[in-house]
Amino acid sequence: MRNRRLENDPRYIGLIGKFISGGCHVYEIREERPVIEDGTGLFVSVGGDGTFLSSAVIVGDRGIPILGVNLGRLGFLSENTPDEAVGEVSAGKYTIEERPLLKAVIASSDEESLKSICPYALNEITVHRAGPAMLGVDVSIDGNPLPTYWADGLLVATSSGSTAYSLSVGGPIVMPESKVLIVSPIAPHNLNVRPLVVPYTAKISLSLRARDEKVFLTIDNRSMEVATDLKMEISMAEYSLKRVKLSSSNFIKALTTKLFWGEDIRNGR
Residue positions annotated with a catalytic role = 49
Amino acid letter, 129: R
* Cα end-to-end distance, the chain, whole Å: 37
Task: Measure CA 233 to chain center.
Answer: 18
CA atoms within 13 A on the CB side of 206: 29
How many other C-beta atoms lie within 10 A of the C-beta of residue 49? 25
3-state class percentages of the chain: helix first, strand second, coil last, to nearest 5: 20, 35, 45
Secondary structure tally for the chain: helices H, strands E: 6, 17
- How wide is the angle at C-alpha 81 spanned by C-alphas 41 and 180, nearest 5°? 70
C-alpha–C-alpha distance, residues 39 and 17, integer Å: 21
